Amino acid sequence: MNERNELTSTVLAGVDGSPQSTAAVHWAAGEAVRRGASLRLVHAWPWLTDGVSSFAEPDDLPDVVQRTLAEAAEDVRGRHPELAVQTDAVLDAPVDGLVAAAADAELLVLGSRGRGGFTGLLLGSVGMAVAGRSGVPVVVVRDAHEGAQDTGEVVVGVDAHGAEEEVLDFAFRAAVLRGARLRAVHGWDLPPVFGYAGGAVPAGEIEQLEALEAKLLSLALAGPREQYPGVEVVEDVRLGDARALVEASAGASLVVVGRRNRPVDFGPRLGRVAHAVLHHAEAPVAVIPHGADG
């Protein structure tokens, strides 16, 4: 295993040998090259821990783990010979190990579903838990979309009533790195009072509400647009929050959503929109933590 270089920014990818994790490794390698970062491939192996060490020595690992990491690294070096690649086995359960290992990384990249998952689910329990707990951005990649990062728009979900700087900054930077257009999607719903009133909502009232939501979106994007003047931005206001993002994900290179840091370690860690987009989006999804813990 290679020496870890603390002077270089790092993109970390979880490796378990599944097709989904292979897609994640390929996506992470391309992103590391794009960012001028190194790539660190990590496998969580809880059964070797002695309660003291954090990382396993190569000779201590079962052959299948050594081979899985070595083959993943060899594959990456064949595609990106200029990229610095590190490999590690973390002595911890997958969720805890990956979250801890990614603490100093720029982002963590996972496959949509690892070994042992149910085929009907687009995101397994490990990916969901890591996306909900990680202190750094987490990108979830589907194996069918590993090559999609070089084409298509970057899509970001924007809460025009309280846009988060971390989410917008990540999305704008992703657009810059790809030379892509940014589609800022603000999904909104009718106020509850319309549901209580019953019957159809007059078209004129919907248009007035939509115009107000569009104005709020423009205001939320004013600062980032000034900071990233070279990014072409499409302001997209649609009825329906999660559904709007899922619809916009078709043909996108990346979908960016926010996830609020929570001061407690129980209960749901992902909001309703992030949860739905992770399960249904047709492109890689980046989940960006924002807000302060505690």
User: Crossing angle for the helix pair 165-178 and 19-35, nearest 10 degrees?
Assistant: 80
92 three-state secondary structure = coil
The C-alpha torsion from 282 through 287 and 288 to 292, rounded to 10°, is 150
**Homologous superfamily in CATH for domain 10-146:** HUPs (3.40.50.620)
Q: What is the mean pLDDT of residues 249-275?
A: 79
Nearest C-alpha neighbor of 153 from the set 218, 232, 226, 225: 232
Give Cα 171 to chain centroid, integer Å.
11
CA distances 52 to 49, 55, 91, 104, 119, Å, are 7, 9, 10, 20, 36
Query: Do residues 114 and 20 lie in contact, with contact meaning Cβ atoms separated by under 8 Å?
Result: yes
Report DSSP letters for 32-64, one per residue: HHHHT-EEEEEEE-GGG--SS-SB--GGGS-HH
**CATH domain 149-290 topology:** Rossmann fold (3.40.50)
Q: In what order do the strands lie in the sheet with 85-90?
A: 85-90, 38-44, 10-14, 107-111, 138-141, 285-290, 254-260, 154-157, 182-188, 233-239
Sequence-ordered strand ranges (E) for 231-275: 233-239, 254-260
CA distances 253 to 97, 175, 239, 283, Å, are 28, 9, 23, 6
Length of the chain: 294
The C-alpha torsion from 42 through 44 and 48 to 54, rounded to 10°, is 60
User: 178 vs 121, which has greater pLDDT?
Assistant: 178
The pTM of this model reads 0.85
Q: For residue 123, is pLDDT > 80?
A: no
Q: Give the pLDDT confidence of 174-219 residue by residue, as tens digits.
A: 999 999 999 999 988 876 655 555 556 666 778 888 899 999 999 9
Domain positions in the chain are 10-146, 149-290
Q: For residue 32, is pLDDT > 50?
A: yes
- Confidence class of residue 294 from pLDDT cuts 50, 70 and 90? very low
CA–CA gap between residue 44 and residue 284 (Å, rounded) = 22
